[in-house]
Amino acid sequence: MGTQFRLALFVLVIALLGYQLMPHVPDELEEKWKYRAMMAFMNGIGIYGQYMHSSAGGDDPSVRTIEGVKAAFRWTSEDAVMDHLGPGVTRLEGTFNGTKVYIYQPPAMSTEGLVPGFIYFHGGGLALGSAKLYDGMARKISSRLNAVVINVDYDTTPKNKFPGPLNQCYAATKWLLLHARDYGVDFRRVAVGGDSAGGYLSAAVSQLIYDDEMVPNLKLQVLIYPWTQCFDFYFPSYQEYTKTFEIGKGFVCRESMVMYCTLHAWGTARPDLVQMLMENRHIGPSFKKSTLYQETLGHDLLPAAYRVSSSYQGPTPSDQGDEEFWQKIKTIFLDPRFTPHFRHNMTGLPTAYVVTAGFDSLRDEGNIYAQQLKKAGVDVTLVHYEKAWHGSHWSAPYFIFAIGEQIHDDFLEFAKERL
């Protein structure tokens, strides 16, 4: 049975269930019916992950669900044909420094000289997703930019916790920069980019490449609603998202992001860790009150309009936190490879194109990171899509959104000019 048929059948079977389970969808969100259909699909994937893989992951229910969801995506979506998004683009498989990659070559590759390179890191909270699920996006980038695209299939959590995924992405990027001519790529015209967790990886890789004297600097970093911090789960955008989509609902609800953070940091989503982060108690009062914290992740850094909505109740109290726990975890959390915000000096980093979305818990951290880059003298373009939602960028089989197409058109036009 073909992948396309399996996917169509799967979506059809769960559609009614998904519509029944779907929480309130705001009127301002574009293509509401398609959003509901996609969430029905995601609900079905979650149900499959929760009940069909109960033996995977030992005693950790979150890990069991994650492994089940991965299996469901493999069954329904990974082999979906997305050739129409990049007509004439050729896909090859390879290995860069031990990490599997997919190499996309544009149609005009054989008739031109060296072309730009674009390295893409997929989203999925570092726990879900795969390079294959972003086949359509990679084909589109290659076709539109006439570029060689490297779609990195890094290993995900919980088996590959921090700094595993980042190390793989850094190593793959370094490999291309050192061997660019072998792939027909101009090493002076290489970009990295990704969405959500892929945005985090792009930001962190950009920093690591800049510090590596063995390779040239990157030309551009494209950060699409990037996930850049695990410190504060009560930013105004988190509070607004919870009110809009209800508790525990939506792609990037607080519950999901806390789970991704614990899996990223420790390779587990133990209830005690989850509860600590859910209440913002993992950061000690001494650091919450520090100038460094307030100047890096303080709510006052955000536009005033983000702090006046009816859903915003202010930050969690600065004296609320477990100092002993913070002392144990601060080495990881303050590492710029884990939290790109805490790089001491961002001067010299590559040009940044940063996308934020109105219906997104990660809106505020993306805004703050763009501000930090700009303050350091980096050429930054911050584009906010008020009616977009986290996930609208993904070119999934059967679920291509007009607002996502607009995001694509805008960042590809920018990249074409800069590369």
Given this model, what pLDDT does residue 306 score? 95
Confidence of residue 24 (pLDDT cuts 50, 70, 90): low
Confidence of residue 9 (pLDDT cuts 50, 70, 90): low
Tell whether the model's pLDDT for residue 7 goes beyond 60: no
Return the structure tokens found at 372. Answer: 């930090």
Q: Which residues contact 232 (CB under 8 A, 6 or more apart)?
A: 238, 280, 283, 297, 315, 316
Mean pLDDT of 107-122: 88
Query: Pseudo-torsion of CA 246, 249, 253, 259, nearest 10°?
Result: 130
Residue bearing the bigger pLDDT, 96 or 83: 96
Q: Which residues contact 214 (CB under 8 A, 6 or more apart)?
A: 174, 178
Q: Which residues contact 226 (CB under 8 A, 6 or more apart)?
A: 194, 195, 196, 199, 200, 202, 203, 354, 362, 365, 366, 369
Return the structure tokens found at 222. Answer: 């494209």
Mean pLDDT of 44-71: 64
The answer to whether 37 and 399 have CB atoms below 8 angstroms apart is yes
Given this model, what pLDDT does residue 400 score? 81
Q: What is the C-alpha separation between 359 and 241, in angstroms, rounded?
A: 7
17-26, 141-150, 237-246: which has the highest mean pLDDT? 141-150
Confidence of residue 86 (pLDDT cuts 50, 70, 90): confident
Confidence of residue 380 (pLDDT cuts 50, 70, 90): very high
Q: Which residues contact 46 (CB under 8 A, 6 or more apart)?
A: 65, 69
Query: What would the pLDDT profile of 176-203 be if each residue is shown by its tens digit?
Result: 999 999 999 999 999 999 999 999 999 9
The chain-wide mean pLDDT, for the chain, equals 89
Which residue is it, tokens 């989509």? 245
Given this model, what pLDDT does residue 16 score? 53
Query: What would the pLDDT profile of 235-267 be if each residue is shown by its tens digit?
Result: 999 999 999 887 667 789 999 999 999 999 999
Q: Tell me the percentage of the chain whose pLDDT exceeds 90.
A: 71
Confidence of residue 87 (pLDDT cuts 50, 70, 90): confident
Given this model, what pLDDT does residue 32 score? 79
Question: CA-CA distances (angstroms) from residue 78 to 98, 134, 302, 335, 356?
Answer: 21, 9, 38, 33, 27
**At 151, phi and psi to the nearest 5?**
-100, 105
The answer to whether 91 and 125 have CB atoms below 8 angstroms apart is no
Q: How many CB atoms lie within 10 A of CB 22?
A: 18
Bridge partners, residue 121, by sequence: 152, 194
Query: What would the pLDDT profile of 318-340 be if each residue is shown by its tens digit?
Result: 999 999 999 999 999 999 999 99
User: H helices of 267-354, where?
Assistant: 271-278, 285-288, 291-297, 323-333
Q: Which residues contact 19 (CB under 8 A, 6 or more apart)?
A: 36, 40
Given this model, what pLDDT does residue 2 score? 54
Tell whether the model's pLDDT for residue 134 goes beyond 90: yes
Q: Tell me the percentage of the chain whose pLDDT exceeds 70.
A: 84
Residue bearing the bigger pLDDT, 145 or 69: 145
Given this model, what pLDDT does residue 332 score? 98
> What's 396's DSSP letter?
B
The secondary structure of 210-233, three-state, reads HHCCCCCCCCEEEEECCCCCCCCC
The sheet with strand 351-359 has its strands ordered as 90-96, 99-105, 148-152, 115-121, 185-195, 220-224, 351-359, 380-389
Given this model, what pLDDT does residue 31 score? 81
Given this model, what pLDDT does residue 72 score? 67
Given this model, what pLDDT does residue 58 score? 56
The one-letter amino acid at 245: F
Tell whether the model's pLDDT for residue 105 goes beyond 60: yes
Instruction: List the beta strands (DSSP E) in 172-263.
Output: 185-195, 220-224
Return the structure tokens found at 329. Answer: 């975890």
**Among the listed ranges 293-297, 377-381, 393-397, 399-403, which one has the minimum average pLDDT value?**
393-397
Confidence of residue 17 (pLDDT cuts 50, 70, 90): low
The answer to whether 138 and 117 have CB atoms below 8 angstroms apart is no
Q: What is the C-alpha separation between 365 and 157, in angstroms, rounded?
A: 22
Residue bearing the bigger pLDDT, 85 or 374: 374
Closest CA to 176 of 138, 215, 208, 145: 215
The answer to whether 200 and 169 have CB atoms below 8 angstroms apart is no
Mean pLDDT of 60-78: 68
Confidence of residue 46 (pLDDT cuts 50, 70, 90): low
